[in-house]
Amino acid sequence: MGSTTLKEAPWTAQSVIATLPHPLAENTSSPVPFFHLLERLKSTKREGWRRFGITNGESISDHMYRMSIMTMCAPPALAAKLDIPRCTKMALIHDMAESIVGDITPADTHIPKAEKARREAEVIEYIGKSLLGAVPGPCSSGYPRYIPRVRG
């Protein structure tokens, strides 16, 4: 008799989106569904804190906000070498994919860096096309260029 092993289905953004309590309206001219997705970052705690049993650790959005403030407080000698508005935008959006992917840390060795990068890229594409693609203005056109390229 041969043994059977159940193979886990590959991770997809759509498989996570399907489990959300409220469906996201896609391909609308309103950014509101995107804003609803961002709400998840307020209640999702960063895994590093949770891993060490810290119950009041920062959320992903707490982290993003604090990073953006830090960019605006760069010392003058450093600020002169940086594009501060671009750094601030990057700090505000660099972890948006975690609204669907979750906070994958280096301690999550069962998820290789290349897989983490693939998941984040899939979510960025979903956000850019399905949630912001029909939204006029800088939000839809400027979003993808500020997402960091993750090395595998």
Q: How far is it, in rounded angstroms, from Cα 7 to Cα 23?
A: 28
Mean pLDDT (10-residue bins), the chain, 152 residues: 68 95 93 94 88 89 96 96 92 91 90 91 90 75 52 40
pLDDT at residue 1, rounded to an integer: 54
Q: How far is it, in rounded angstroms, from Cα 130 to Cα 123?
A: 10
Architecture in CATH for domain 27-131 = Orthogonal Bundle (1.10)
pLDDT at residue 134, rounded to an integer: 83
* Domain spans, the chain: 27-131
CA-nearest of 137, 128, 144, 96 to 27 is 128
The residues near 119 (Cβ < 8 Å, ≥ 6 apart) are 11, 13, 97, 101, 104
